Structure 1
Amino acid sequence: MKRTPPVKKIQSKKSVKPKSKRSEKGTFGKISVFALMVLFLAFAIGVLYQYRNGVLYYFGFKSNVNSNELTDEERKLEDIRIFEVLSRHDTKVAGFDVSEYQGNIAWEKIDKIEDDFPLAFVFIRATAGNDRPDLRFEENWKAAKEHYFIRGAYHYYRPNENSIAQADNFIKTVKLRKGDLPPVLDIEKLPKNQSIDSLKVGLRRWLNRVEKHYKVKPIIYSGESYYTDFLREEFKGEYPFWIANYNLFVENIKKDWLIWQFTEKAQIYGIKGLVDVNVFNGNKEDLKAICMR
């Protein structure tokens, strides 16, 4: 039987499959995650370097401090920042502010914050709105004087209440004496039933009435964003400003701020709970120079 030669199979060239879009996306995703990790690490190192003195201080002296108001990590970060800010402003004056919300204050125990920085002045809430006195104003006002703090009083302004009635409420409650700080108008809220222009008219009426009574220009307190958006154009250059800004990356008081409230989460020996702490833009002699004469 005749044998037929085997037929050679022609091998085709192996085709190269193009990379799928899915694999390209996977590679890109890995690169993106890696880049984000690098950026986060750089950010963390930058923060640690920026607050290196506070970090060393905290873990050297305050590692066992706890607060039931914040988590342990939040307390650590806040204490580090407070130490850093006060260290950067060691030629200026530190102070705090209180109201009835701090409860019964042991004034005789208040001296320094973070063990190193003396507290020289205090602002005390006197009134809120057109008829509301702070329930602890009288005792706090008297105790601050007895314990040699330079003291000041502030009014919490309610935009939807009559401005003259609010000014009269403050005047009736607060008797400023020689050596006291100028009165403060605290404005934080927007009106519900009036325009911003109407709000500004009300604020000016309060300021004029209080200035006429005490013969000194009041200080305006507000958050920086509120100040920038609603107050700066109308009042800058005419009134001194006390600005609240708790941003982690704001390191120094600005030139046009009389006072900077840089935290609302401080711990001060003698006061229960959290406390606002402030830096005055000057030394103690400068602070005394703006007081009532």
Structure 2
Amino acid sequence: MRKKIARSKTSVRRKPQKKTSFFAKKYSVLFVLLIFIFGLVYHYRNSLAYYFSFKSDKVLTNESENKRISDIRNIQVLEKHQDKVIGIDVSQYQGTIQWNLVDTLEQKHLLRYVFIRATAGNDKIDSKFATNWIGAKKAKLIRGAYHYYRPNENSMEQAKLFIKTVHLQKGDLPPVLDIEKLPKEQSIVNLKIGLKRWLALVEAHYKVRPIIYTGENYYDDFLKEEFKDYLFWIANYNFYREEIKEDWLFWQFTEKATVSGIKGNVDVNIYNGDAEQLGFITLE
């Protein structure tokens, strides 16, 4: 009788999985970053070329004029909207403006209109409104006046202050209600009631429906549906936004532009149409 030989079970040894080294991960991230940067440079290649050639020319002639649009995106946006009408908006924060010098942006894009802050809240008249209003007319720019709305102040008093301050004429743009802040002392429902009262009183006085200015998120979250009968002027400076939306009348795409005759940064706006169409919305 044969003896059974007991065989020991051979344990299967698995090869340990190789762990991704720190350096491999680092280089992978670096590679992705380089691809992103390359894509970004390629996307803005024309604007970069224009920007650097423009800057180098200015260094040779006048260093003070070297302060033009510093954001490459701004140039890209302007190049994509050559068929649209460009304008600016100003307030007392721009100081004393030399309106006889205000004509183009980047010595290339003709400025055709300007929105000027007239009032804020129920008691504030912009200290430069009167001079800016006259100066813009002399510069042959289409003028518009706007009111900065303070949510926690009486809407009717705010409307009456604007009406008392702003005397619109034929060829001027419709009045603008600037709403940017959320209320601290009232509900959103009451805020909307106040906005509607301001809009109604101003429309009754000037016989034209006002334009509403606000940020894109504010527009989407609070105003888009309930104020759909109004035309909107939207502010959006985000890097990804390069073209105006169809339902925006105006787009404020930057707050960091330089215009001759104005010290410091200036907001720049694009009208969603050509010069002839802009004339259609002015007062008759």
TM-score by length of 1: 0.86
Check conservation: 2:89, 2:114, Cα contact below 8 A.
yes
Compute the displacement of 1:76 (Å): 6.9
**1:156 is the counterpart of 2:151:** no
Superposed counterparts of 1:14-163, under 5 Å:
24=19, 27=21, 29-63=22-56, 77-78=70-71, 80-163=72-155
Larger radius of gyration: 1
Paired residue for 2:233? Answer: 242
Paired residue for 1:3? Answer: none
Q: Percentage identity across aligned positions?
A: 57
Superposed counterparts of 1:148-227, under 5 Å:
148-227=140-219
Q: Which of 258, 262, 266 lines up with 1:267 in the alignment?
A: 258
Compute the displacement of 1:32 (Å): 2.6
Distance 1:282 1:67, change over 3 A: farther
Structure 2 distance, partners of 1:50, 1:205, is 46
Distance 1:77 1:111, change over 3 A: closer
Distance 1:76 1:158, change over 3 A: closer
Q: Could you list the per-position Cα deviations for residues 174-226 of structure 1 after superposition, in whole angstroms to 9, with x for gaps in the alignment?
A: 00000000000000000001111111111011000100110111000001011
Unaligned runs of 5+ in 1: 1-15
The amino acid that maps onto 1:51 is Y
Worse-matched range after superposition: 40-49 or 202-211: 40-49
Q: State how many pairs are aligned.
A: 267
Q: Secondary structure at the match of 2:41?
A: helix
Compute the displacement of 1:233 (Å): 1.8
The amino acid that maps onto 1:218 is P
Compute the displacement of 1:49 (Å): 1.8
Q: Secondary structure at the match of 1:130?
A: coil
**1:282 is the counterpart of 2:273:** yes
Over aligned residues, Cα RMSD in angstroms? Answer: 2.1
The amino acid that maps onto 1:59 is F
Distance 1:77 1:31, change over 3 A: farther
The amino acid that maps onto 1:127 is T
Structure 1 distance, partners of 2:100, 2:70, is 28
Compute the displacement of 1:18 (Å): 7.3
Structure 1 distance, partners of 2:188, 2:41, is 42
The amino acid that maps onto 2:246 is K
